[in-house]
Amino acid sequence: MMNNFTSNIHYFRRISQVLAIGLIIIIPFSNLLGIHWVSGTLYSMSFGSLDFSDPSLILQTLVLVKKISLPFFISGIIPLLLAMFLGKVFCSWICPFHLLSEWAYKLIKKIKKISSTANKNPKRNFNLVIFFGLLLFIFLSEVPIFSLVSLPGIISSQVADLVIIRTLGIEIFIIILVLLLEMFSLSRFWCKYACPVGLSLGLTKFKNSLSIVCDSSKCGKCPQRKQNPCKTACSFNLNPKELGIYPVCNNCIECVSVCNENNGALQLTFNLVKKTNIRNKNNNHNKGE
By CB under 6 A, is residue 191 in contact with ligand SF4? yes
By CB under 6 A, is residue 63 in contact with ligand SF4? no
By CB under 6 A, is residue 254 in contact with ligand SF4? yes
Query: Would you call 213 helix, strand, or coil by DSSP?
Result: strand
Question: Among 52, 131, 236, 282, which residue interacts with ligand SF4 (rule: CB under 6 A)?
Answer: 236
By CB under 6 A, is residue 24 in contact with ligand SF4? no
Binding mask 81-110 for ligand SF4 (x = CB under 6 A): ----------x---x-xx------------
**Contacts within 8 Å (CB) and 24+ apart, 37-46:** 41/153, 41/156, 41/157, 41/160, 42/95, 42/96, 42/150, 42/152, 42/153, 42/155, 42/156, 43/147, 43/150, 43/153, 43/156, 43/157, 44/75
Decide whether 35 or 77 has the Cβ nearer to ligand SF4.
77
Question: Among 57, 154, 159, 249, which residue interacts with ligand SF4 (rule: CB under 6 A)?
Answer: 249
Q: How far is the CB of 166 from ligand SF4 (least distance, A)?
A: 26
Question: Which regions of the chain does DSSP assign to beta strands (E)?
Answer: 38-40, 44-47, 50-53, 211-214, 266-269
Binding mask 142-171 for ligand SF4 (x = CB under 6 A): ---------xx-------------------
Strand 211-214, strand 50-53: pairing? unpaired
Helix axes 151-164, 9-32, angle to 10 degrees: 40
By CB under 6 A, is residue 251 in contact with ligand SF4? yes
Q: How far is the CB of 60 from ligand SF4 (least distance, A)?
A: 15
The residue type found at 89 is V
Q: Which residue of this chain has its Cβ atom nearest to ligand SF4 in the complex?
A: 198
Q: What is the binding site for ligand SF4 (CB under 6 A)?
A: 91, 95, 97-98, 151-152, 190-191, 195, 197-198, 212, 233-234, 236, 238, 240, 245, 249-255
